[in-house]
Amino acid sequence: MYAFEIERPSTIADAVNALKGEDAQALGGGQTLIPTLKQRLAMPSKLVSLTDIGEMKGVCLGDGGEVCIGGATTHATVSKEAAAHYPALADLASHIGDPAVRNRGTIGGSLANNDPSACYPAAALGSGARIITNSREIAADDYFEGMFTTALDEGEVITEVRFPVPEKANYQKFLQPASRFALVGVFVAKYADGVRVAVTGASEEGVFRWTEAEEALSGNFDGGAVDGLSVSADGMISDLHGTSDYRAHLVKVMTKRAVAASS
Amino acid sequence: MPKDSGIGASTKRREDLRFLTGAGNYTDDINIHGQAHVHFLRADVAHATINGIDLADAEKMPGVLRIFTGADFEPVGGLPCGWQVTDKHGEPMQEPKHPIIAHGKIRHVGEIVAAVVAESLAQARDAAEVIGLNLTELPAVVDMKTAVADGTTKVHDDLTSNLCYDWGFVEENKDAVDEAIKNAAHVTTLELVNNRLVANPMEPRVAVGEYSRSDDMHTLHTTSQNPHVIRLLMGAFVLGIPEHKLRVVAPDVGGGFGTKIFHYAEEAFCTFAAKAVNRPVKWTSTRSEAFMSDAHGRDHVTKIELAMDADNNFTAIRTETYANMGAYLSTFAPSVPTWLHGTLMAGNYKTPLIYVNVKAVFTNTVPVDAYRGAGRPEATFQLERVIDMAARERGVDPIALRRQNFVTEFPYATPVAVEYDTGDYEATMAKLEEIADMGGFAARRAESEKNGKLRGLGVNCYIEACGIAPSNLVGQLGARAGLYDAATVRVNATGSISVMVGAHSHGQGHETSFPQVISEMIGIPEDQIDIVHGDTSKIPFGMGTYGSRSLAVCGSAMVRAAEKVINKAKKIAAHLLEASDADIELKDGQFSVAGTDKSVAWGDVTLAAYVPHNYPLEDIEPGLEETAFYDPANFTYPAGAYACEVEVDPDTGKVTIERFSAADDFGNIINPMIVSGQVHGGIAQGIGQALLENCAYDENGQLLSASYMDYTMPRADDLPFYSVDHSCQTPCTHNPLGVKGCGEAGAIGSPPSVVNAVIDALQSGGKNVAHIDMPLTPSRVWNAMNNA
């Protein structure tokens, strides 16, 4: 990697200030950024580590009963501390990467990166979560803007993510065999006012909502409700690991499995 | 009752203590005072003309000692090819120069274009980034059949075409084979791909070059399976260093799988540069570099036809294979699709007529060479797949069809030039049926179907030619080296023993199993015996470890040397016991006079050899050290039968291996635990090839699977618990230990049974799928099911 400065602020305010420098880059758990630096694919002048900011860590229940997760909370912590409040979310966190990734990687880092095959974007979009930053609050529906692209401004930091807790939910991930990211991952959540279905891994545009399935499942929360639907292969990723037809097919299979496994 | 030491004991691997506690000494652990580092600037295009290389800015960068380009290596040789294949017209193969650093032209992604030697690795990388390359890109040659079509761009301008050779074997049989196929009652035809693989040993390649001005001595520390081969090839053919001025050391090596046999450019570079800059020069491959510079494996496109008579007896086999050589000929590349592949096409069956055609092709890809099994997996896969397909077409049981055609009498001379010395294919098949619990399959299939899954059972046999090889024979076949091996048994004064061997251990456990043999022969504890390997300044000239040859060839040399030692020791004992040496017996470390209670201990005899006060100096020399070279009379022929049971998820196409059983005949066995471990590892790699691993290029010659994000290595949860058995033993008839070798069997024997099982599962679900090319990824299986 190229040489860089590193700062380890202990408050959000200090972090935001530190990020004002030219070519400064926020560093969460580093599970994507560090390998990128090692390959010399990025050249920040300064890294601002968010992992020492106490106010950005941990899981709690908000006033409205929503699960609030600090942006610098690791996947391992979410898998433990959210389990009682939002089991489907905790289960998703417990299957990201491997133990090393889960002990370092953070929810804020994952959502800020918005890898098209990552798991957390499906949970956030599927739950209609709110992304809290140092300066504003962004609804998940407005946050994801395409592969590796989000509504975050330069230097903006995800401080917290708030998940409304559904009646039932489940995440089904079909693994890309090499990377073990999601070849297709589907998050299904049933709320009093309707069902949300979010798909990761499949689309060239990153995570998306399968609205036809949401409508069908909101009327009848049963896997059979999507039998008559089909997903277009247009815009689906096609690579060594799966054709676009195959990914489109898997969206439906994983949706049905997620509905069946919802609890 | 299992033994607790000596031949047949499952002695725990002594080398694991240092490997598992971080005390191993790998090449990257070697750091020499004053050492500089090299970073290789590698091509990121597959095919281009190099118009110029501008080093002006790079040479001014901090820490740079010197930057090398292809021009610096014009005075020395290219990397040599160790095997010359003669084509079906009697002409030698086309053999292009293989430069250390690309000169004039780039021929594959990953080829070295420039080498920066600097004080630190980071400085070398920084400087490499400002090297100016002036390239003109050329169309990339990737697809093999396109490569040999008229008018295609040539990978090498000085060759007549991209065809390295067109080999026919046995050419004299061709007409008879054609006739038999024309007249057959039934012919089954299968076209298939044997997928390109990357070996991916856990330890990437490393080279440290050193030069001593005081005695004009060059030393190369390198990750090699065969240090003497590297010394000979690099010293004599590349750099022109006399062998007595060149030492090659391969210390602990973390896996080879064939890919560390070959002599690589980076080794020659570090040796050359160490003298040029008068500093030790070190290179450690990154994983990314390994993907695009380690020789790849397999990559065949094949059509096989199996002819049968009306009673389903095999009457003829005809194959046509395109074998990818990559951009240059790696050290043993030409031998893999020919002599290691064509000679195995008879398999375990008495097919009377066989003709094998192989077209070796140059492409703008990384060179392809031997990878665990090397040619034999490619032969086994096509044969065992086409037999399965034939059984399905004829409506007969695939095991019965195999049994009907087994070779049953030995020795058996195949129509493809080799003679099997021993074997019992019926015995391994019967053992397989037992350990695979084939009787319970129907119930297991019913249970799977109840859960919405398709279940399949696949079986295959295999045979391999190991213990490579008789030198006079391979010389006739084009090998440019002998393939004997050597060992020195050095008995120390107090009776402990150091055995210097030409074989190299990089996972095989020689340090444990070789002493078991000596312990058995002499009757002293295994821990009194150490193996020394991997350093040309310490060991006799042996040819190294590959082709499952260590025990069969080097082990035999060790036995011969130990026999010489024992014969001499008996003479000394006879002197000490005042008896005739013909009456001396050695048992449990004691020499005794037959029929008496007079004896002398091993240690007293060895001490007498080195303190020869009471010693027959007029008849024999002092000391107790003997060397033997062993050149085998034939290959060895391990064989066996494998079974795989899979579940296929019809919704996703995902294949899960539920059971895997292997019944092998390795002849005599020294350490059953180590043998099981070798089979386990081989099966993991075979399953990797069948289901997971795929080295893929796009049409521009860009490597698509250039990291673990896209290249799927098998992981523990991809694999079942194996049931392996090696109790069927027909000892090799021509080596002193009766051993056959076990290192490659798992990788050779497992892919066909996996694919056969998946096809069986799909057919059971009413899907008319005849074949799917490896790897059988979920996407491929699902697409096959839905297009059937």
Q: Tens digit of pLDDT for each residue in B168-183? A: 999 999 999 999 999 9
Chain B: give the shortest CA distance to residue A242, in Å: 5
Q: Tens digit of pLDDT for each residue in B340-396? A: 999 999 999 999 999 999 999 999 999 999 999 999 999 999 999 999 999 999 999
**A39: containing domain:** 1-50
pLDDT band for B469, please (50, 70, 90 cuts): confident
- In this structure, the answer to whether residues B578 and B552 fall within a common structural domain is yes
What is the pLDDT, as a whole number, of residue B1? 61
* Chain B partners within 8 Å of A246 (Cβ): 653, 778-779, 782-783
Chain B residue closest in CA terms to A246: B779
Q: Tens digit of pLDDT for each residue in A175-197? A: 999 999 999 999 999 999 999 99
pLDDT band for B2, please (50, 70, 90 cuts): confident
Helix H or strand E encompassing B273: helix B265-277
Q: What 3-state class would DSSP assign to B104?
A: coil
Q: Please state, rounded to an integer, the average pLDDT across all residues of chain B.
A: 97
* Chain B partners within 8 Å of A242 (Cβ): 777-779
- In this structure, the answer to whether residues B436 and B537 fall within a common structural domain is no
Neighbours of A238 (CB within 10 A): 14
- In this structure, the answer to whether residues B602 and B651 fall within a common structural domain is no
* Best mutation target, A32, A246, A252, A256, to test chain B (most B CBs within 10 A): A246
* Chain B partners within 8 Å of A245 (Cβ): 783
With b meaning 16 or more CB within 10 Å and e meaning fewer, what string describes B356-380? bbbbbbbbbbbbbbbbbbbbbbbbb
Q: Is B668 on the interface with A (CB under 8 A)?
A: no
**B551: containing domain:** 484-630
Whole-angstrom Cα distance, residue B715 to residue B721?
13
Contact A240 B288 (CB under 8 A): no
Q: Which structure tokens are listed for B171?
A: 């050419």
Chain B: give the shortest CA distance to residue A252, in Å: 10
Helices (H), B535-596: 556-577
Structural contact between residues B728 and B663, judged by C-beta atoms closer than 8 angstroms: yes
Q: Is residue B11 part of a domain?
A: no
Q: Is residue A68 part of a domain?
A: no
Q: Is residue A129 part of a domain?
A: no
With b meaning 16 or more CB within 10 Å and e meaning fewer, what string describes A41-56? ebebebbbbbbebeeb
Contact A179 B709 (CB under 8 A): yes
Chain B residue closest in CA terms to A97: B709
- In this structure, the answer to whether residues B614 and B638 fall within a common structural domain is no
Q: Is residue B170 part of a domain?
A: no
Count up the domains in chain B and report the number. 3
Q: Is residue B596 part of a domain?
A: yes
* Best mutation target, A117, A186, A240, to test chain B (most B CBs within 10 A): A240
* Chain B partners within 8 Å of A39 (Cβ): 288
Percent of chain B residues past pLDDT 90, beyond the cut: 98
Q: Last residue of some domain: B630, B652, B677? A: B630
Of B709, B711, B783, the CB nearest to A243: B783
CATH code, domain with B443: 3.30.365.10
CATH code, domain with B248: 3.90.1170.50
Report, as an integer, the average pLDDT of B742-764: 97
Q: Is residue B412 part of a domain?
A: yes
Q: Last residue of some domain: B595, B630, B665? A: B630
Q: Tens digit of pLDDT for each residue in B572-609? A: 999 999 999 999 999 999 999 999 999 999 999 999 99
Lowest-confidence segment of A125-129, B110-114, B471-475 by average pLDDT: B471-475
CATH code, domain with A247: 3.30.390.50
Chain A residue closest in CA terms to B712: A178
Q: Please state, rounded to an integer, the average pLDDT across all residues of chain A.
A: 97
Contact A178 B651 (CB under 8 A): no
Chain B: give the shortest CA distance to residue A99, in Å: 15
Q: Which structure tokens are listed for A136?
A: 């504003």
- In this structure, the answer to whether residues B549 and B641 fall within a common structural domain is no
Chain A: give the shortest CA distance to residue B288, in Å: 9
Residue type, B606: T
Which of B288, B234, B290, B311 minimizes the C-alpha distance to B265? Answer: B234
List residues in chain A touching B: CB distance below 8 A: 39-40, 174, 177-179, 183, 239-243, 245-246, 249-250, 253
Report, as an integer, the average pLDDT of A112-135: 98
* Chain B partners within 8 Å of A179 (Cβ): 708-710
Contact A253 B708 (CB under 8 A): no
Q: Is B779 on the interface with A (CB under 8 A)?
A: yes
Q: Is residue A152 part of a domain?
A: no
Total CB pairs under 8 A between chain A and B:
47
Contact A177 B125 (CB under 8 A): no
Chain A: give the shortest CA distance to residue B713, in Å: 7
Q: Tens digit of pLDDT for each residue in A187-227? A: 999 999 999 999 999 999 999 999 999 999 999 999 999 99
Q: Is residue B15 part of a domain?
A: no
- In this structure, the answer to whether residues B638 and B517 fall within a common structural domain is no
Chain A residue closest in CA terms to B696: A240
- In this structure, the answer to whether residues B608 and B663 fall within a common structural domain is no
Of A40, A178, A246, the CB nearest to B779: A246
Of A39, A177, A250, the CB nearest to B777: A177
- In this structure, the answer to whether residues B626 and B693 fall within a common structural domain is no
Of A183, A240, A253, the CB nearest to B696: A240
User: Using CB atoms and an 8 Å cut-off, which of residues 641-660 of chain B contact chain A?
Assistant: 651-654
* Chain A partners within 8 Å of B129 (Cβ): 40
If phi > 0 it is left, if psi is from -120 to 50 it is alpha, else beta; for residue B759 that is alpha
- B615: which residues sit within 8 A by CB, 6+ positions away? B572, B575, B608, B609, B622
Chain A residue closest in CA terms to B779: A242
- In this structure, the answer to whether residues B736 and B781 fall within a common structural domain is yes
Q: Is B705 on the interface with A (CB under 8 A)?
A: yes
Q: Is B736 on the interface with A (CB under 8 A)?
A: no
Beta strands at B655-665 and B722-725: parallel, antiparallel or unpaired = parallel
Q: Which structure tokens are listed for B521?
A: 């022969």
Contact B705 A240 (CB under 8 A): yes
Q: Is B778 on the interface with A (CB under 8 A)?
A: yes
Q: Tens digit of pLDDT for each residue in B718-748? A: 999 999 999 999 999 999 999 999 999 999 9
* Chain B partners within 8 Å of A37 (Cβ): none
- In this structure, the answer to whether residues B603 and B666 fall within a common structural domain is no
Please state the pTM of the whole predicted model. Answer: 0.97
* Chain A partners within 8 Å of B779 (Cβ): 241-243, 246
Q: What 3-state class would DSSP assign to B628?
A: strand
Q: Last residue of some domain: B630, B665, B692? A: B630
Contact B692 A177 (CB under 8 A): yes
Whole-angstrom Cα distance, residue B219 to residue B281?
11
Q: Which structure tokens are listed for B312?
A: 């389903």
- In this structure, the answer to whether residues B733 and B720 fall within a common structural domain is yes
Q: Is residue B409 part of a domain?
A: yes
Q: Is residue A137 part of a domain?
A: no
Q: Tens digit of pLDDT for each residue in B193-252? A: 999 999 999 999 999 999 999 999 999 999 999 999 999 999 999 999 999 999 999 999
Chain B: give the shortest CA distance to residue A250, in Å: 7
- In this structure, the answer to whether residues B625 and B532 fall within a common structural domain is yes
CATH code, domain with A35: 3.30.43.10
Chain B: give the shortest CA distance to residue A241, in Å: 7
Of A179, A242, A253, the CB nearest to B779: A242
What is the pLDDT, as a whole number, of residue B642? 98
* Best mutation target, B126, B652, B719, to test chain A (most A CBs within 10 A): B652
Contact B778 A242 (CB under 8 A): yes
- B73: which residues sit within 8 A by CB, 6+ positions away? B99, B100, B101, B103, B272
Per residue, the 3-state secondary structure of B281-335, as one string, reads EEEECCHHHHHHHCCEECCEEEEEEEEECCCCCEEEEEEEEEEEEECCCCCCHHH
Chain B: give the shortest CA distance to residue A3, in Å: 10
* Chain B partners within 8 Å of A250 (Cβ): 652
Using the predicted structure, report yes or no on whether residue B121 has a pLDDT greater than 90: yes
Q: Is residue B320 part of a domain?
A: no
Count up the domains in chain A and report the number. 2
pLDDT band for B788, please (50, 70, 90 cuts): confident
Q: Is residue B212 part of a domain?
A: yes
Helix H or strand E encompassing A13: helix A12-18
